Amino acid sequence: MTTARASCTAIRKNGQKCGRTALVDGTDRCFWHSDRVSDAERHAAAQKGALVLRQRSAVPAVADVRMRSPESCPQLLEQTVEEMKTGKLDPRTGNAVSYAIGTAVKIWEVMLSNRISRLDKMIHG
């Protein structure tokens, strides 16, 4: 059988009850209002949350550039590297985008090579 966890009874700056789920330490306080959580722990958690939000919000910036032509690839690659360097884009996503760019360039190389072959046959028979 499960028991519903208590809600935090702390009063927020706006005068309303916090209402977040209380910790399982027997108190009626959440992580952000518990006396048993140090300021350092709260600070670390807040920073981690902010980093996750930064990483999530950064993904659409790279996604704005489309791989419509070979000419767009250098710009997309440059933006991807820049956003990875500044920590706006997580390396996993950055590596995936870089890999996709490399694959697209190879596809365009093959397409270009086939086109040259066709033109060569038209000219020289």
- Using CB under 5 A as the criterion, which residues of the chain lie in contact with Zn ion when the complex forms? 8, 10, 18, 20, 30, 33
CB of 37 to Zn ion, least distance (A): 10
State which H helix or E strand residue 95 sits in.
helix 91-124
Residue 3 in contact with residue 23, Cβ under 8 Å?
A: no
Nearer to Zn ion, 6 or 59 (CB): 6
CB of 19 to Zn ion, least distance (A): 7
CB of 28 to Zn ion, least distance (A): 9
Residue 85 in contact with residue 58, Cβ under 8 Å?
A: no
Nearer to Zn ion, 10 or 81 (CB): 10
* Cα separation, 94 vs 55, whole angstroms: 11
How far is C-alpha 37 from the geometric centre of its chain's CA atoms? 28
Nearer to Zn ion, 18 or 59 (CB): 18
